[in-house]
Amino acid sequence: MCGIAGWVDFGRNLSCEHETLGRMKETLINRGPDNGGVWLAAHAALGHRRLSVIDPAGGGQPMIRRHNGHTYVIVYNGELYNTENLRQSLLAKGYRFNGHSDTEVLLFAYIEWGSQSLERLDGIFAFAVWDEESGHLFLARDRLGVKPLFYTVVNQSFLFASELKALLAHPDVAPVIDAEGLAEIFVMGPSRTPGHGIFKGVNELKPGYYMTVDKNGADSEKRYWSLESRLHEHNLQKTVENVRELLLDAVQRQLVSDVPVATFLSGGLDSSALTAISAEVFKEQGRGRLHSYSVDYFENEKYFKGSRFQPNNDAPWAKLVSEKVGTKHHNVFLGIPQLAASLDEAALARDLPGMADVDSSLLLFCREVKKDVTVVLSGECADEIFGGYPWFTREDELSAETFPWIRNIDGRTKLFSPALANAVNSQEYIKERYSQALAEVPHLPGENGKDARMREMFYLNITRFMPTLLDRKDRMSMAVGLEARVPYCDHRLVEYVWNIPWAMKYYEEREKSVLRLALRGIVPDEVIDRKKSPYPKTYHPAYLKAVKERLLKILAEKDSPLHQLVDAAAVKNFAESAEASANFPWFGQLMGGPQLLAFLIQVNTWLKAYKVDISF
């Protein structure tokens, strides 16, 4: 994986803007620690930071190729899993390759097929191609938004980058946040509305979209992929067989690499499946013993409290799976002081307040894994596409007519300053965003009642909740130069599962039944029958103590920027109350009282570090 940045302006000469582009590019050095480069022309400037995974010697960027009198330059962040198939098609059309990188294949694919090349790509990507002779920039993002891509137009300049920090490194981009951006952080957050870049004037290219820029300006985003609803014609047995085949193929494709590959293994169904399949592929290909990694916290077993959101600890399950499938397993244990101290680093990695210690623990975990490997397979997104979360089965949450992972909005609003509360209008904002999401659902004609509602719920999860976890995984892993691949986001698998009826997905009233049935004989039976348990968080009282003390210290400092956005007295009362130690989440499954305090710490860090100008 990598980091990309660029600048197009037809009203000025950019060929001397090496310093500005260099600043933008170097903010992304953690995404691409191996090397970097820039390419400058009269009206375009492209920058790249590279993490070498495929063809370390021949895949440098920006990559330049000439074809039919045109000079094409690409900057690309991602991985193509059908590189060799595309290469063979392009060879048959007369293209000749200088190396074996997927970057060169992607560039030639665009040259040959233009925007229609996107339909041929199997992978995760965000890229830009500049055609020097025609003065035309093309940008695209993968179907499900695994890889990020932000952009803005300011003073006739079009700017784009993998992360917000790279845009903000440009002198013309100001870190201004208005009422809508604040609502995204404090009402929707840490999720975001698709396409929203939080800072004023900044957008994120939406998943499954592309756009072009030329002397006439930036065209509106165009969609090249979307979920399509159609009648599912397979019986349960055939459905299970197809899911198994699609998942096996996705995992095998994503194990291709010129550098070491491992898996994250929690002992849950999703990561256990990836690990078991990968271990078998390693054996068949003679690649030695697969390494797997899990994360936990010192003394967590002493304080763990099971709940419907997190019923049991992961450690025994990860050990069981590792022993049965034969991996070299590594347990990474995190301490409370380092967990609390890394909240700031996690906010800077994400460019925004995020999922508090759920983010920072992943950042620390990835840093340890990076010491051994460069690529990992991770189990994100199985719950969104197969229906694994509690809100898929709880009638009160299904009928709530709101995003089920955004909880207790009234309680959250009580902590706002009067100015923030008036600016964001929490209930109206969330109602508007929810209605907007429902209006996008591709309903199946004739489908109604429970099936129609479940289709809505899956759409909400895939397009609104899943991006939050993909953002988290991308930013925390790339912050330490670790590439995380997500096989459950394979678009062929997602397209197929999308149309499987709820009666099959919830066969015998068990969440993710189709996936469980598909994995019989691959994953140990004990794990197939295990209740879902999400990414682990700490239950150690020392963590609550640490974040509480730090937040109260922030509030005691009169110049803390957090004062602009919260009611200090209300936050202090909350921090001292029993609610602060409660594990019932205010967002998702994991963000309880301690995480809310940590989130406010991250808000303060973000406001200071980015010198955010608040415009109510």
Q: For residue 594, name the pLDDT band (cuts at 50, 70, 90).
A: very high
CB 77 within 8 A of CB 2: yes
Higher pLDDT, 532 or 341: 341
Using the predicted structure, report yes or no on whether residue 300 has a pLDDT greater than 80.
Answer: no
Provide the token pair at 16.
Answer: 């001397």
pLDDT of residue 371: 96
- Helix 449-460 to helix 426-440 angle (10° resolution) is 110
Domains of the chain, start order: 2-223 (3.60.20.10), 236-528 (3.40.50.620), 546-615 (no CATH)
Q: Which one is catalytic: 2, 366, 381, 489?
A: 2
CA distance 178 to 188: 15
pLDDT of residue 531: 78
What pTM did the predictor assign?
0.96
2 included as an active-site residue: yes
Q: Rounded mean pLDDT of 590-612?
A: 96
Using the predicted structure, report yes or no on whether residue 161 has a pLDDT greater than 60.
Answer: yes
pLDDT of residue 315: 81
Provide the token pair at 415.
Answer: 């902590």
CA distance 214 to 232: 42
pLDDT of residue 57: 66
Using the predicted structure, report yes or no on whether residue 309 has a pLDDT greater than 80.
Answer: no
- Helix 357-370 to helix 593-609 angle (10° resolution) is 70
Count of CA atoms in the C-beta half-sphere (13 A) of 183: 20
Q: Which pLDDT tens digit goes with each residue over 66-97?
A: 999 999 999 999 999 999 999 999 999 999 99
196: left (phi over 0), alpha (psi -120 to 50) or beta: beta
pLDDT of residue 530: 87
pLDDT of residue 1: 65
Q: Rounded mean pLDDT of 466-477?
A: 97
Using the predicted structure, report yes or no on whether residue 540 has a pLDDT greater than 90.
Answer: no
Angle at 333 between CA 332 and CA 337, to 5 degrees: 135
pLDDT of residue 584: 80
Buried b (16+ CB within 10 A) or exposed e, 469-479: bbbbbbbbbbb
Task: Indicate the average pLDDT of the chain.
Answer: 94
